[in-house]
Structure formats: C-alpha cells, structure tokens
C-alpha cells in the first residue's frame, strides 16, 4: 500500500480509499494471490477494515440475490416469439430487397390493408405537389383573365406604370399605341387657328421635310366633301366627339379614322394657293 493514501470520511469513520478499492477488488475476486493474502491479514487485525469488508460482502450478496426469487423467464414462449420476429425480419429484408431491385413503376405499394392510415398519408403526400402545381396554374390563369378584364384588350394597356411618357397626365395609353390626336381645343382658338397641337408638343408641328405634291393636293381637293374637314364649329364638334370617344373607350388602331393634322395644313395651303391664283 502506498503511504500517500487518499482518505475519505463516512458515518464518522475515516475511510482509507485505497484500502477500500482493494477491498472491493477482493470481494470481486480480482486480487492476485499475494495481494489477497496480505489484505486478509490486515482485515484480521483491523476491526474497522473488517467491518468495511463485511458490508461490501453483504452488498454483493444482496446484488446476487436480487431477482433470484422472481419468477423464471418463460424461455419457450420467448423462443417462439423470437422465431416469429426473425421470420418477420427476413420477410422485411426480402421485401426491401425486392423493392430496391425492382423498377420503380412496377414496385407494389409497401403498405398493407391493415395500415390504411400510413397508406393515406403516403398517397396524399405524393399527390400534394401535383395538386399545388394545378392550383398555381389555375390561379395564374385567373389572374391573367382578371388583368385582361381590368386593362382591356392587348394593345390598350392602362396604368401609369405602363406609360413611359411622363408628360401625359393619366397616362391612359401606351405611347406606341396612342392615337396621334389633338388635345381638346378651345373653340375660340379654333377660329384663329384651326390646327390643334399634337399632344405633348408645346409648339406647332414642323412641316414634313418632303415637298407638297400639288397634284396630290388637287386630287384631295376634288375628293368628296365628307372626308374633307372644314374649319368651323361643326368640324370641331365632330373632332371633339371622336376624341372623346377615343378617350372614353380607349379605342385605338385601324378602325379609328383620325384626321391627319399635317394633311389639313397641306390642304389649307393648297386652297390658299388656289385662291391666290384665282
């Protein structure tokens, strides 16, 4: 025994922990013959050590007797249960191997009639992604349909965000599809200047660079009257009405016959020339 022994205290009795460990090993029969002889000699002469050893032995007896009086295990029943468990384990392993080896589309469902709940869960789980896609597609179609209803037909998009031209208040029409119509003129202005200004322009439009073809002007002058606008209140009213229709219905395109301002100017210039010559 080492002279530097750890010491503990228990129930007022100083316990030599190294001797305690040796006693424990002695109880378990883990000491060598020489060590055992030496320790038993000490126990014989040391009552405290003997008492400690007796308690260790009593504890061992209690541990070994624990459960000794209980009913024996039914090994036959356990053996039958084990055989059943092993058979099930083999079946599961076989099923697992078949499931893994077979093609995916041919593999049968791995749930039985006795387990409807898991089967339902699995089916719902598998169907859920497809259902989500279908719902998303339906929602997208509905949104498109609503957008079409609200904005009108294609080519007549509405909304400020669709209008790249900041000068137009309201921005009802996209610039590339907006009809080139004059703003609503003041009737008094129409008396002096029948030529309305183009929307968004602060100045009168510049003449086109190409020269006016007199023959063409003459042909137009001889054309039937309805297509020739006359500067006056009635023409202004017609133009206003057309413009209002265009604004209200946002109708643009081919079916809206807009009078070309430049052509009016050309016509007026031609008439003035005729008058001058006449």
Q: Within positions 106 to 135, which residues make up the interface with another protein, using CB under 8 A?
A: none
Residue found under tokens 């968004």: 200
Candidates 15, 156, 212, 240; binder of another protein (CB under 8 A) is 15
Interface pick for another protein out of 2, 11, 125, 176 (rule CB under 8 A): 11
In this chain, which stretch among 71-79, 141-149, 199-207, 251-259 interacts with another protein, using CB under 8 A?
Answer: 71-79
Does residue number 14 form part of the binding site for another protein (CB under 8 A)? no
Contacts of 265-273 with CB under 8 Å at 24 or more apart are: 265/195, 265/207, 266/212, 266/217, 266/220, 267/217, 267/220, 267/221, 267/228, 268/194, 268/231, 269/212, 269/217, 270/212, 270/214, 270/217, 270/218, 270/220, 270/221, 271/221, 273/214
* Helix ranges (DSSP H) in 111-208: 116-151, 187-192
Residue 58 engages another protein in binding (rule: CB under 8 A): yes
Q: Does 253 bind another protein (CB under 8 A)?
A: no
Q: Please identify, among the stretches 52-60, 162-170, 193-201, 236-244, the one whose residues bind another protein according to the rule CB under 8 A.
A: 52-60
User: In the structure encoding, which two tokens stand for residue 118, read together?
Assistant: 């898991």
CA dist 225 and 215 (Å) reads 18
- DSSP state, residue 38: H
Among 73, 161, 215, 257, binds another protein (CB under 8 A): 73
* Max Cα-Cα span within the chain: 160
SS3 content of the chain, % helix, strand, coil (to 5): 60, 5, 40
Q: Which stretch binds another protein (CB under 8 A): 11-19, 116-124, 168-176, 217-225?
A: 11-19
**String of contacts with another protein for each residue 26-45, x by CB under 8 A:** -xx-x------------xx-
Contact between 239 and another protein by CB under 8 A: the answer reads no
Strand partners, 10: 13
- Is position 57 an interface residue for another protein (rule: CB under 8 A)? yes
In the complex, what is the shortest distance from the CB of residue 52 to another protein, in angstroms, rounded to a whole number? 8
Task: Report in angstroms how near the CB of residue 107 gets to another protein at its nearest.
Answer: 24
Number of other CB atoms surrounding residue 271 within 10 Å? 13
Residue among 23 and 267 whose Cβ is closer to another protein? 23
Residues found near another protein in the complex (CB under 8 A): 8, 10-11, 15, 17, 20-21, 24-25, 27-28, 30, 43-44, 50-67, 69-73, 75, 78-79, 81-82, 85-86, 89
């Amino acid at each position: 025994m080492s002279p530097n022994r750890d010491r503990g205290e228990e129930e007022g009795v100083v316990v030599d922990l190294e001797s305690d460990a040796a006693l424990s090993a002695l109880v378990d029969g883990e000491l060598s013959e020489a060590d055992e002889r030496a320790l038993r000699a000490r126990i014989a002469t040391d009552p405290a050590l003997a008492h400690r050893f007796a308690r260790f032995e009593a504890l061992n007896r209690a541990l070994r007797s624990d459960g000794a009086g209980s009913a024996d295990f039914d090994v036959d029943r356990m053996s039958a249960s084990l055989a059943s468990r092993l058979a099930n384990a083999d079946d599961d392993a076989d099923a697992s191997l078949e499931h893994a080896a077979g093609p995916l589309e041919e593999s049968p469902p791995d749930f039985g009639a006795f387990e409807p709940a898991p089967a339902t869960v699995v089916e719902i789980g598998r169907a859920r992604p497809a259902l989500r896609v279908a719902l998303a597609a339906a929602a997208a179609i509905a949104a498109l349909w609503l957008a079409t209803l609200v904005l009108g037909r294609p080519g007549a998009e509405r909304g400020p965000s669709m209008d790249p031209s900041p000068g137009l208040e309201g921005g009802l029409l996209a610039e590339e599809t907006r009809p080139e119509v004059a703003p609503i003129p003041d009737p008094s202005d129409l008396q002096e200047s029948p030529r309305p200004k183009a929307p968004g322009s602060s100045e009168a439009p510049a003449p086109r660079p190409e020269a006016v073809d007199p023959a063409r002007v003459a042909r137009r002058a001889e054309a039937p009257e309805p297509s020739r606008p006359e500067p006056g209140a009635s023409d202004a009213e017609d133009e206003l009405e057309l413009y209002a229709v265009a604004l209200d219905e946002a109708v643009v395109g081919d079916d809206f016959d807009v009078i070309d301002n430049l052509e009016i100017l050309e016509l007026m210039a031609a008439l003035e020339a005729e008058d001058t010559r006449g």
